[in-house]
Structure 1
Amino acid sequence: MTDQGTNKTGFARDDELKREMQGELKASRAVRVEEEMEPQPSGEDQPLAESAPAAAVPAGMTPEGVSLRSDLARHLDRSVYPARRGALLAALHRHQAPDALVDRVSALPSDEVFPNVQAVVQALGYGVEKPRP
């Protein structure tokens, strides 16, 4: 079968390149022999370089609340809303959510209907994002 896309190397070479790169992508140490190929640390007068910049925290929320909202949104589709606790738990199990997230959602009241992720976060006792003036 031929490759109909714009791929210049072909699927077999792509798989080979993925296998070659796995060690570099998963390593927590230097993997190159030549020192000049390694990323350089920040200078003395420079701010520390971060692999991922810190996320902005909206007014009215805490960093933990933002993280929880993000985790819930990652594991719950929009199509599940409006939902009760049972539907939320079923969706979390279907998406293989972490146990800590499932435990938090299982503490919600079973008779309340949640229209969106923001309502779930608020019911869990975290602040909600305040609208901008």
Structure 2
Amino acid sequence: MERGNSKHGAVLDEQMAQEVRGIFRGPAGSRADESHTPEPAGEDQPQVTVAPNGDFGRGIPNGVGSAQGEAFSRFGSFLGRTAFPGDRSALDASARAMNAPDEVLRRIAALPGDRTFENAAEAWRASEGGTA
């Protein structure tokens, strides 16, 4: 018996069909499953936030989309997660491993050598006062 497709076997054809099945058929029912909705924090628990300091950087002069916000984003993108918490030498090693540009390396060199930084925002504020 001749099959119409001679490139794949039956098992591979079924796997490929499974991969695209979701594109052609939506989920059964258009409502989200209620059990996947996170519950709010309890009365005795702190509110959960994605911005630890309560500041997303939006709506302030040097926030997201501003020149300083873009410079901070560029600075943070060359610091690996494994560099934190770390001191100036750890941040410098991480930035050099990620081929950071000179402006980022200059900011890191301006950091105090005796301080440990918990995240990129702390390092940014400590480097030249957080100014571009």
The TM-score normalised by the length of structure 1 is 0.49
Structure with greater contact order relative to length (CA < 8 Å, sep ≥ 6): 1
TM-score, normalised with respect to structure 2: 0.49
